């Protein structure tokens, strides 16, 4: 930083002020980016959860239908064995 202050003809305090301001603005920008990313992730998770609810409902209907078919087949088999 000493070399930079000589090249730019600035005092060390001026250079420190410039560097600290840049760091603060970078951190603020980084925090904003992180908030945007977090919001996007939150939206994707919400959408995924909603789609899983739809999927699980459809899967439950299919499972119930197959279970009914198996029970009907078992009843038919039991009837055939009794004949």
Per-residue confidence in pLDDT tens, the chain, 83 aa: 567 656 767 777 877 777 775 555 555 666 677 778 888 888 887 887 777 777 788 888 889 999 999 999 999 999 998 87
**Helix-, strand-, coil-residue percentages of the chain, each rounded to 5:** 95, 0, 5
Compute the chain's Rg from CA coordinates.
34
**pLDDT in the model for residue 51:** 79
**pLDDT in the model for residue 72:** 93
**pLDDT in the model for residue 57:** 80
Q: Give the global pTM.
A: 0.41
Number of structural domains, the chain? 1
Structural domain range at position 70: 2-82
**pLDDT in the model for residue 74:** 92
Half-sphere exposure of 40 (CA within 13 A, CB side): 6
């Amino acid at each position: 930083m000493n070399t930079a202050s000589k090249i730019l003809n600035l005092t060390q305090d001026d250079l420190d002020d410039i560097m600290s301001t840049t760091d603060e603005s970078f951190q603020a920008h980084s925090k904003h980016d992180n908030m945007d990313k977090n919001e996007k992730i939150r939206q994707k998770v919400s959408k995924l959860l909603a789609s899983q609810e739809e999927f699980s409902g459809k899967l439950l209907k299919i499972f119930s239908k197959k279970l009914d078919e198996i029970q009907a087949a078992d009843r038919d088999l039991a009837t055939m064995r009794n004949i």
